[in-house]
Structure 1
Amino acid sequence: MSTQPSPASSAEPSTAADWATALTPRLAHFVAVARHEHVTRAAYDLGVPQSTLSRSLSRLEADLGVALLARHGRTVSLTPAGRTFLASAERALAAVEQAAESVRSDADPATGKVAFGFLHTLGWETVPSLIRAFRAEHPRVRFALVQNYGAAMLERLRAGELDLCLTSPVPDAADLVARRLDEQRLSLVVPDDHPLAARRRVRLAEVAGEPFVTLEPGYGMRRILESLCAEAGFRPRIAFEGEEAETIRGLVAAGLGVALLPPPAIARPGVHELTVTAPRAVREIGLAWSAGRPDTAPVAAFKEFLLSRRGRLLG
């Protein structure tokens, strides 16, 4: 091996991406030779022909434009540039090995990870119950849990940050796959001292003149409220907006308006919940995932588990 690099070819890398593409396959070769200080032993250790290893090292030096190794008989030693490059090459390979181990671990059928998103209103009881039931058969599968409103979860799904999410309304988009799992009845929530508090049922049109407390635009429940009010023949007058259903109930209890909400996790003092008889007030709960993205074994198992609970997701 020459101690000087051969002239760079006309295809010399010109961008960071080009450099990474050119250098990455040769880093392991260089590190092995540097550790053994012997090309033949390094080739044997790597399981590649010595000629292949020698060509790889020559091309690496040509790309960099510096000599990394000096030959001494049958052995080699690092040049000053080679010592500098070795430290960075070892860090780069360690990072790749760590990343590979991480993705292998996440995909492991027994101990892998599922990134799972769900609505805040499903976090108190529904999701913990689902995970408990699933882990009865898959006790070592890990979960990264994300609570958010529907539109934000779908964006994270598209970005690859989530594997699956429970959301409402059920999305209809070409880049997503969605399956309806269940529906949840919605109630009109009024303060305890409201004239309707003595009743059990109400038509939504009866509160057309009332101020509404609701979730912010972008939340599925906000779209459902506006759609149901339009079906009842009016546009809701929004008095207050919030980000969380139980906060909305607190605002109703304070007499700041009425609200249309899914059932509470626990009974909230200061409010009364009425069944809405017209229009039919429900929200569909669906499971969504990215179209065309392959599932790891733990994701596939959890998806199958959730789909098997169609019609009884909410207990």
Structure 2
Amino acid sequence: MDLRALKTFEACVRLGHFQKAAEELQYAPSTVTLQIQRLEADLGVSLFVRDGKRAIVSEAGRWLHHEASALLNAVGSIRQTVSDIAAGDGGTVRFAAIEPIASQRLASVVADFCTNRPKVQLAMEVSGSKSIAERVRAGELDFGICSTPSPALMLQFEPLAEERLGVMMSVDHPLANHMEITAGDLAGLTILVKEPACVYRELWEQTSSQIGMHAFSRHEVGSIHVIQQMVKAASSVGIVPFYGGLELEGSLVIKPFADRNPTISLGIVYKDKDFLGKASLLLMDAIKSIL
């Protein structure tokens, strides 16, 4: 069945007259008549019963009108959805980011994106760099915000920011009045660090290698925000990225390292932009603008 013929038939029944349908659809009356005739021939039934100059909808016609209305509405919805996806106002976006950049830098831009594009179904995850890169490679994520991925994954990586490693401590800690911290300053202290798979943990291992792992006590904590609360509650210090938003006024400060100034490159990782939806590309651009 031709959708144009169904649309013409629906208009004829809804408006109750072939002439009115022709005016609405901007067809010649003969075109409306021809389309109805072809539709009847295709179905092998009479959709209208002619009574002089009047055309009364037959029983088959009444049933077809009900189904055709639903079908045309569905087609209209399909057209709108496809148009929204093409414009970046619809579709899905699946991405992940590491902490604390996810909460400290990305939360606001993602919230704005969701507000401005409410039809987009967005799924944001918080994970580690290695996991993010592997899932982007597997096609489970459209893109990710993480450290440089392994070359073996053959992913595209656009560096966007350099993050420095710092030491979080209480404002009344003996080291809090130092402008910068050396790795040697931490000897004999209890250090809170992330898990081994975390890029910030790897950076810390490189930084602390000069004084030896035996120089201090170390506890592994899987969350930077938990480290924040533990430092606040005890005399330990935490190894965290240098974010002012992680400091707590009157309670916690973060001091940068002085001796090696350890940094890590963060950026956007993806497989191929040609396979990304418009909404994903727009969100990536929004993230780039703040980083």
Q: How high is the TM-score relative to the length of structure 1?
A: 0.57
Q: Corresponding residue for 1:286? A: 267
Q: Corresponding residue for 2:208? A: 229
The structure whose residues are more often helix, as a share, is: 2
CA contact (8 A) 1:189 1:260 kept: yes
Aligned equivalent of 2:169, options 190, 193, 196: 190
Question: Deviation at 1:134?
Answer: 4.7
What secondary structure is seen at the aligned counterpart in 2 of 1:116?
strand
Q: Corresponding residue for 1:129? A: 108
Cα deviation code 1:183-235 (max 9, x no counterpart): 223321123443212323222232144331111111111111112223x4433
What aligned pairs does 1:74-223 form with structure 2 within 5 A after superposition?
107-108=85-86, 109-132=88-111, 134=113, 140-167=119-146, 169-175=147-153, 176-223=155-202
What secondary structure is seen at the aligned counterpart in 2 of 1:243?
coil
Q: Corresponding residue for 1:243? A: 222
Question: Deviation at 1:279?
Answer: 0.8
Distance between the aligned counterparts of 1:149 and 1:233, measured in 2? Answer: 27
What aligned pairs does 1:18-57 form with structure 2 within 5 A after superposition?
none
Letter in 1 for 2:229: G
Q: Corresponding residue for 1:92? A: none
What secondary structure is seen at the aligned counterpart in 1 of 2:256?
strand
Q: Corresponding residue for 2:46? A: none
Identity %: 21
Cα deviation code 1:157-177 (max 9, x no counterpart): 22322101111x322324321
Question: Deviation at 1:128?
Answer: 2.3
Question: Deviation at 1:146?
Answer: 0.7
With over 3 angstroms needed to count, the CA separation of the structure-2 counterparts of 1:174 and 1:304, relative to structure 1, is farther
Letter in 1 for 2:252: V
Question: Deviation at 1:302?
Answer: 2.7
1:303 aligns with 2:281: no
What secondary structure is seen at the aligned counterpart in 2 of 1:227?
helix
CA contact (8 A) 2:96 2:141 kept: yes
Distance between the aligned counterparts of 1:286 and 1:200, measured in 2? Answer: 28
With over 3 angstroms needed to count, the CA separation of the structure-2 counterparts of 1:252 and 1:135, relative to structure 1, is closer
Distance between the aligned counterparts of 2:140 and 2:84, measured in 1? Answer: 13
With over 3 angstroms needed to count, the CA separation of the structure-2 counterparts of 1:237 and 1:107, relative to structure 1, is farther
Q: How high is the TM-score relative to the length of structure 2?
A: 0.61
Q: Corresponding residue for 2:18? A: none
Letter in 1 for 2:257: V
Q: Corresponding residue for 2:238? A: 259
